[in-house]
Amino acid sequence: MAEGGKVFARIARRYDRINTLLSLGQDQNWRRTAVDQLPGGRILDLGGGTGAANDVFVGREVVTLDPAAEMLTLNPIDRRVVGAGEHLPFRDETFDAVFSAYVFRNLDSVSRTLEEIARVLRPGGKAGIVDLGRPEPGWRRSLHRAGTAVVLPTVGTLAGAREEYVYLNRSLDKLPPPEDMLGGSSLALRKTWRMGPLGFVYGAILEKGAGGS
């Protein structure tokens, strides 16, 4: 299990409430911006945990995968699988879409996970990714880094989870911009966009070619 999976398993019952607070209630809207661009049918909620995104999967058959069994036990959907993005326990071309929110910073290997997503997607299928990161270089990034260094540990302390939110702050600097991180895989990067104050949330849509690549 990736470090993030171990960390947030310890605060499973509080995790979604704290995220909603930190996002000023916008976290579900940010998920929806990506899900609304995905095809219908069978969707894999990769790193879906407690099922925070369930309400935006209208009309879809949902399978949720997460490395933290403690979080999956709180998810009310029927199809729940313990596993990691780097080794998806599904057959080739199983899903019409894959969705992942606030997970990629916690992966052991982004490149391996993208390979696995491409494998389990059907030709023409799409993946939608939403995650946190630093704003684009400049004063916004400097301001954001200074702010989260204070706010996140403080929120964690008040919630009795300081270690977890110190980790969250560190993870914001872990990965390159989404255009660099997602642009070199076997999936075609169709678009990226920024959301949230200072643009610290990003969304991305990737597509598997009709020929299977």
146 within domain boundaries: no
Please report whether residue 213 resides in a domain.
Answer: no
Which amino acid makes up residue 113? T
pLDDT at 148 over 70: no
Cβ atoms < 10 Å from Cβ of 119: 16
- pTM equals 0.82
* 154 assigned to some structural domain: no
Q: What is the mean pLDDT of residues 75-87?
A: 95
Q: Which long-range contacts (CB under 8 A, 24 or more apart) does 24-28 make?
A: 26/195, 26/196, 27/52, 28/52, 28/53, 28/55, 28/56
CA torsion sign, 161 to 166 to 167 to 169?
positive
Query: Is residue 170 domain-resident?
Result: no
Number of domains in the chain: 1
Residue 186 lies in a domain: yes
- Let me know: does 100 contact 85? Beta carbons within 8 Å: yes
pLDDT at 150: 65
Say which residue, 7 or 107, is predicted with more confidence.
Answer: 107
6 confidence band (pLDDT: 50, 70, 90): low
Mean pLDDT across 22-30: 75
Residue 7 reports pLDDT greater than 80: no
Residue 56 has pLDDT above 60, yes or no: yes
Helix (H, G, I), strand (E, B) or coil at 109: coil
Cβ-count burial of 187 within 10 angstroms (0-12 exposed, 13-18 middle, 19+ buried)? buried
Where is average pLDDT lowest: 14-28, 100-114, 124-138, 198-212? 14-28
| Cα distance between residue 4 and residue 24, in whole Å | 22
- Domain assignment present for 150: no
CA distances, 92 to each of 45, 111, 123 (Å): 16, 17, 10
Range of the domain at 104: 3-134+175-207
Is 182 part of any domain?
yes
What is d(CA 89, CA 77) in angstroms, rounded to the nearest whole number?
Answer: 18
Please give the pLDDT value at position 70.
86
Give the span between the Cα atoms of 148 and 14, in whole angstroms: 19
| Range list of H helices, the chain | 3-9, 12-22, 27-35, 69-72, 110-120, 139-158, 162-171, 178-182
Across residues 205-213, what is the average pLDDT?
A: 81
1 band by pLDDT with thresholds 50, 70 and 90: very low
The answer to whether 9 and 68 have CB atoms below 8 angstroms apart is: yes
In a domain, 112, yes or no: yes
Please report, rounded to a whole number, the percentage of residues in the chain having pLDDT higher than 90: 51
Does residue 103 have a pLDDT over 60?
yes
What CATH number corresponds to the domain at position 113? 3.40.50.150
